[in-house]
Every structure is written in C-alpha cells, then in structure tokens.
C-alpha cells in the first residue's frame, strides 16, 4: 500500500520528486503531510496552496502559475523566489502567456534566477507575439533602452503602440512620450496629449501629471490653468512629488498676485495650500520644494499667516 508521500511522487516528474524528497529530508515531513512540502522551513501550507500544488504537479498550467504567484508573494506558503521562478517556468513552457511574461520579469530583475536580459527579452517577445499586452509594453521598453537586444526606436514605438491600443496604460504613457520626443515617430504634440489623456483618465499617475503639464504649457492643447490644477491634484493625491511641487508653486504664485488684498480669506487659503503641497513634496526629498518653504518662512507676513493657522510654531 502506498503512503501519502509515495502517491504524490508518482504523480510528478523526476525533478519535482527530487526537490520534494529534499524538502522532506530537511523538514522531517510526515509521509501523510502534503502541507509542509513548501521549502526549507516547516510551515503549514494553506488549503488553497495545497490544492494548487496537487493540480500543479499534475501539469495544470493555471495552477502552476497561481502557485508561482503564491511563492512570490508568500501567500499561504513560505516566500521562496526560487520556487516561484521554477513554477513560472513550468507554466511558461506549456504556453501560458501570463507565466511567460512573469518569467521574463524574473530574468530581467534577477528574481529566483541570475539576471539575464537576453532571456528576459526572449520570453517577453514570445508572449508579445501572441498578443499579451504587458509583454508588448515590456518589449517596447527593451527596444527603447537596449535591454537584451540592440536599441531600435522604431520597434520600440511599434510595440508601445500595440500595447497601448490594447489598453496598457504604461504603454499609453510611453507612446505619448515617443510623440513628444520623436522616438521612432515624427513629433506630434496633439497625439501625445491624446495618449496622455487616455492613460490619465484610467488613473495612471504619471500621465495625470503629464496631462497637467500639457494644460499648463499649452502643449498639444489650448492652455488652461484650471484643468492643469485639476490633473496635478489627481496625480498629487496618488503621491506624485512633482505634481505636489507644481501645485505648491501655483497656489503660492496665485497668493502673490492677491497681495493687494492681503489677509483676505482667498489669499490665506492659497498660502496654506501652497505650504501643504510644498511640505508634502519636501517629505519626499524634493529639494526645490524645501527651498520654496524656506522663502515662505523668511517672509514675515506669510510666516505670520502660517503661525496663526498652526502650520509652524
């Protein structure tokens, strides 16, 4: 009669058997315990991961991918980048596109395997050719920056465009910058604005800031300070430091224009908003914001307003 351990090993290939036997020896796993077959530490595997393991060892590519994610995130199992890579690779070799992309990411970042840009490019390209939008974006990045392949701006633009049309917001932002800087395509500020806007409306923080810049400078669209502030605020709320700085400067400049109405509610409100946004930017290391805050404190009238409103002691 086969015990629990033997029955599992018979359902997996020889490589998996060797690995799990190694774990059993190190962890002293009981024959009837699947739950502890997780790596070098004794750890109770969650029911979810235990179920995935049984499916994965039987060749289920979806389960192999999900198991890799669990190992990478430490979700229901001891975090193990090497095991994450191994299961990504198994699923990728079966043609599972999500796994192929993530395997490329592992090679690009040295997660669970030695960093290898050529292998990263190969796996990105494989998934991109099958229409996987995240890999199309990654492939564009590789071509633009010469990662794992020779630099090729036209191919970078082409892959960004493929991914952008499928809705990848990072690609939409990169495509916009291609139009701004003339990377693989003729410069076209109106097209840049259009792609910044698409990504910004989907919540892409950097595109929200970039769209604010377009409105503030009239790049690809009619200048509109109110819309610039609107998009800067969207980006600042998500933590974009440059957007926080630009808002601080906008409110400070607006306050300066109102000095003839010194002490008015509107003027005080603008000074307080300027201080808050510049302080947020300073906390993230923005040196220009720090310099502007010093100027505010050196102005006796502004400093008085800040003190009266509890901003400084």
Reply yes or no on whether the pLDDT at 312 is more than 60. Answer: yes
Terminal Cα-to-Cα distance of the chain (whole angstroms): 79
Quick check: pTM over 0.85?
no
- What's residue 255's pLDDT? 87
The C-alpha atoms of residue 225 and residue 222 are separated, in whole angstroms, by: 10
> Does residue 34 sit within a domain?
yes
- Which of 81, 116, 131 is the C-terminal boundary of a domain? 81
Mean local confidence (pLDDT), 75-100: 96
> Does residue 206 sit within a domain?
no
Mean local confidence (pLDDT), 221-245: 98
The C-alpha atoms of residue 30 and residue 39 are separated, in whole angstroms, by: 14
The number of beta carbons lying within 10 Å of the beta carbon of residue 105 is 18
Could you tell me how far CA 1 lies from the centroid of its own chain?
A: 51
- Which of 81, 113, 132 is the C-terminal boundary of a domain? 81
- Provide the token pair at 73: 């995130």
Mean local confidence (pLDDT), 285-301: 94
Judge whether 220 and 250 are in contact, CB under 8 Å. no
> Does residue 113 sit within a domain?
no
Judge whether 279 and 293 are in contact, CB under 8 Å. yes
- Provide the token pair at 21: 């036997």
> Does residue 138 sit within a domain?
no
Reply yes or no on whether the pLDDT at 22 is more than 50. Answer: no
- What's residue 262's pLDDT? 57
Reply yes or no on whether the pLDDT at 259 is more than 70. Answer: no
> Does residue 198 sit within a domain?
no
Residues 6 or more apart whose Cβ sits within 8 Å of residue 237: none
pLDDT-derived band at 260, boundaries 50, 70, 90: low
> Does residue 290 sit within a domain?
yes
> Does residue 109 sit within a domain?
no
Mean local confidence (pLDDT), 226-240: 98
Reply yes or no on whether the pLDDT at 7 is more than 60. Answer: no
Find where tokens 């810049």 sit.
213
Mean local confidence (pLDDT), 97-113: 98
Domain count along the chain: 2
- Which of 51, 66, 81 is the C-terminal boundary of a domain? 81
Per-residue pLDDT reduced to its tens digit, 148-192: 999 999 999 999 999 999 999 999 999 999 999 999 999 999 999
- What's residue 264's pLDDT? 75
Cα-Cα-Cα-Cα dihedral sign, residues 276, 280, 281, 287 = positive
> Does residue 223 sit within a domain?
no
Mean pLDDT, all residues of the chain: 87
* Domain with 262 in it: 239-313
Cα-Cα-Cα-Cα dihedral sign, residues 270, 275, 278, 280 = negative
Reply yes or no on whether the pLDDT at 296 is more than 80. Answer: yes
């Amino acid at each position: 009669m086969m015990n629990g351990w033997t029955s599992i090993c018979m359902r997996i290939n020889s490589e998996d058997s060797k690995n799990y036997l190694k774990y059993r020896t190190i962890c002293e796993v009981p024959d009837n315990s699947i739950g502890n077959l997780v790596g070098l530490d004794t750890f109770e595997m969650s029911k979810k991961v235990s179920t995935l393991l049984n499916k994965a060892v039987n060749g289920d590519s979806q389960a192999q991918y999900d198991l890799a994610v669990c190992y990478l995130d430490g979700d229901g199992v001891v975090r193990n980048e090497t095991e994450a890579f191994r299961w990504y690779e198994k699923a990728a070799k079966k043609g599972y596109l999500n796994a192929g992309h993530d395997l490329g990411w592992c090679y690009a970042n040295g997660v669970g395997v030695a960093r290898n840009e050529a292998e990263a490019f190969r796996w990105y390209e494989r998934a991109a050719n099958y229409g996987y939008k995240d890999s199309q974006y990654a492939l564009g990045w590789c071509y633009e920056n010469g990662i794992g392949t020779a630099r090729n701006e036209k191919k970078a633009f082409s892959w960004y465009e493929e991914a952008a049309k499928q809705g990848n917001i990072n690609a939409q932002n990169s495509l916009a910058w291609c139009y701004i800087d003339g990377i693989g395509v003729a410069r076209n500020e109106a097209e840049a604005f259009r792609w910044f806007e698409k990504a910004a409306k989907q919540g892409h923080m950097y595109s929200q800031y970039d769209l604010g810049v377009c409105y503030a400078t009239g790049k690809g669209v009619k200048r509109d300070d109110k819309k610039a502030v609107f998009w800067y605020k969207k980006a600042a709320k998500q933590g974009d430091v440059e957007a926080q700085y630009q808002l601080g400067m906008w409110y400070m400049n607006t306050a300066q224009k109102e000095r003839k109405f010194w002490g008015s509610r509107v003027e005080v409100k603008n000074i307080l908003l300027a201080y808050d946004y510049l302080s947020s930017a300073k906390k993230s290391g923005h040196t220009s914001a720090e310099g502007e805050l010093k100027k505010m404190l050196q102005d006796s009238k502004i400093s008085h307003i800040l003190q009266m409103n509890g901003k400084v002691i």
